[in-house]
Chains A and B, each alone.
Chain A
Amino acid sequence: MARDLTLAYGETVVQRDVSFEVPRGCVFVIMGGSGCGKSTLLRAMIGLLEPAGGEVLYDGTSFWAADPDERESITRRFGVSYQGGALWSSMTLAENVALPLEEYTDLDGDEIARIASLKLALMGLAGFEEYYPSDISGGMRKRAALARATALDPDILFFDEPSAGLDPISSERLDELILELRDSMGMTIVVVTHELASIFTIADDSILLNAESKTMIARGKPSDLLEGSSDPRVVEFLSRGRKGVAAESDRRIDRPEAMI
């Protein structure tokens, strides 16, 4: 839960007075245009950027006011998948997934290897245990990052731009994985994205940040916001992608030579 959160880099305020509550076991999407502060908000939520004001609360405990031990026990419940994957390049995929297990459990090497193998198989990467991040494609890296983020079966999974740089099929498969993790393991999943196709597919609840006003301008299920919001900025954001896709496909049909 965020309460009156103000985010800033030095003197530059990115967002102010952001307040919302993330329901347990849902996919919560933080959306907004490029540069509106979505990833900054995520960084404040996962403990990488101290907010200039306000609080981030987990089960009533203020993260930034907590002592280091309390903070560690909170972050222990997180899994984070970063925009570029952030896999450790000197480790194999299996080692990437195994590291949090080695760090936080008493499991022996075989058990850890079995869990790492399972997590990679869940992400469609069976057999790729011994590959290094540089050996695989961008989409596979995203899935491997998700395998690492879910290694400890976290209560809350944070996901920064899951669809960025992926083809539509990989993106769709990642959306399905997110929904499956919610349904099967009851995870609460917080996703930062501006990809409208993903937003409408996965979001149970969402907020929309605006770069001009530097505030949160909408809260609710995206489809409800599109139907019911009276704020033209909200309607424009949520409908623009659909119009854009339609216009683009029309243009391609009209001028097939323009595709080359």
Chain B
Amino acid sequence: MSKKEKTVYEAALEHGFSRRDFLKMCTALAATLGLEFTQSDQVVKAMETKTRVPVVWLQFQDCTGCSESFIRSSQPKTESVLLEMISLEYSEVLSAPSGHQAEASMEQVLKDYKGKYILAVEGSIPKDDAYLMVGGKSARETFIKMADNAQAVVAYGSCSAWGGIAGASPNPTGAKPVTSFVSNTPVILVPGCPPIAEVMTGVIAHIITFGKLPELDHLGRPKAFYRHRIHDKCNRRAYFDAGLFVESFDDEGAKQGYCLYKVGCKGPTTYNSCAEMRWNGGVSYPIQSGNPCIGCSEKDFWDNGPFFTRRAKIPGTQTTINPDSVGLAALGVTAAGIAVHATGTVVKKKMDEKRGEE
């Protein structure tokens, strides 16, 4: 395994890209990263001088959906990411070797690139080791060993970022997000079920370009991609403000493209860039295609109630209720209680008055 340290540019030329192709890629990348056009030369410079970043991609309690999303990136193209920008040292989905060979390459990374590689993680980690052993080692041990020596951990998907479906109530495996097992290594959360492909590649591209982690918000997500609510960038927003709503999926409003708020759209509580970057190379995203947002990039989204109704969660529980029905019921009970109490008050007063007269 001879590893000559090639720059991204050199690697691109080697794979038959022209200078022109390379510049196009850099410009597109700058746009994806949310940079101004004038800053694209920074990206070019970085790609000309920086070597490829070694990446180890671990999968735990996941569905491989994040990997599937990743390989559908269009800007930058997945092949340019995989072949030029990063050096994917270990991946269960994309590795050529398997078995002991694959496991050996992980050990090799620890030797060669200690403190330099990026650890991409997909899936949650169970509290009880028995639920997930890979190659005879527990997922938790593998993760802790790899995370401690990594430059940064990138938690891809809602499972690794928040616990995801495995961590949803009742959480039989005791699944936890990767942040519960990291001590000193910085972690970037890239939630989503799955995350948008361009966001996944964009995060790595940012690390390569600027040599540091992207700016994170208070929950540890890259601001560039998770700063805005779906609702505020939604292509159906005008219908929300107008008060035009889809009442059911087969009504006229659904055909007209009205707002999906009343059929449970979680756009108003979801932070992601679906509405801006969209999916499959900018073709569409769920709301545009007529399905309410299910809020897949939000914490515990599986427990946030049925997807197609609006609910409220009782604080401190995993239970969602219809706040207005419950509120009205509580109001009814209170009114009944008041009626009983008022009757008692009147009866007591009359009795007291009678006693006073005697």
Q: Do A and B come from one complex?
A: no
